[in-house]
Structures are given as C-alpha cells and as structure tokens.
Amino acid sequence: MAELDAIDRAILKALQENGRMTNAELAETVGLSPSACSRRHDMLEKSGVISGYHARLSHKAIDYKMMVIVHISLSGQFAKTLTEFEAAVKRCPNVLVCYLMSGEYDYILRVAAKDLEDYERIHRDWLSALPHVVKINSSFALREIIERPNVGL
C-alpha cells in the first residue's frame, strides 16, 4: 500500500476510538461521502493496515486478576529451535503477548492468570513444557498504570 494520507489516518484514528461505528458515521467523521469512505476502508483492510476487529475485555472482570511478565531463555537461537518454541507458545491460551527479543532473554511474554495458584498451573503445565526452554523468570505486575490499545496517529 502507498503511504497513508491524512484521510487514511483520520479513518484509522476514528476506528481505533470506535471500531463499531457505521460507515455513514465514519464518513461524516472524516469528511468523505459514504461510498468514498467505504472504498478507503476496504483498501485499508485488504492491504493489512487494519488487521482485525475485537472486543477489548477487562481481564479483571472475567476473573483474570494477575498479569505476569515472563522472560524466557532458550538453549539456542537456531531457526528450528525458534520455530518449535513459537509454535508451542501459540497454543498456550493464557499467553496474551509473546515477543522475540534482543538482549539477555530470547522471549518476553505477558501471561494472564486468575491468581497465584492458577499461575503455578500455567507455569507447570505450559511454560515449563515449552521446547528448548532453559530459564524462566517471572515478574508479577502489582498495578497497571497504562495500557493503550491504540497507537498515536
């Protein structure tokens, strides 16, 4: 896709704030006709700039009160090792985010747990069973200060 112009950015900003707005509302917000807005919206989706839509859930409201930041070191960074680890970590339902990192640790994960006992289960049944793991370091979030679902445009 070509570089985003001001109208594309306005569409993205509006959808980040309210992904459920109708095309007519979106068109009015960004100053386009509904048909022109729809074409641009479709183009943003087809090009992958808009990668999907979802409901943002409150983890606390659904009883996941504990967030854990997990640092993982692997036995090596060979392509096969990374591929096998990444395939396995994708199957763990409590892992919300997983990043391949530079620096001291190979991966950083954000894991949701109901409580300490639930995290112990996740650690035992999932994290410790991940292939090629040689070190797991868990840090427990005490309080969330900010979590931005949107990127600044």
pLDDT (tens, 9 = 90+) of the chain, 153 residues, equals: 568 999 999 999 999 999 999 999 999 999 999 999 999 999 999 999 999 988 888 888 999 999 999 999 999 999 999 999 999 999 999 999 999 999 999 999 999 999 999 999 999 999 999 999 999 999 999 999 998 877 777
**Range(s) of the domain holding residue 121:** 66-140
Residue 141, SS3? coil
Q: How many structural domains does the chain have?
A: 2
Residue 51's identity, in one-letter code, is S
Q: What is the CATH number of the domain that holds 28?
A: 1.10.10.10
Element (H, E) at 23: helix 23-30
CATH number at residue 114: 3.30.70.920
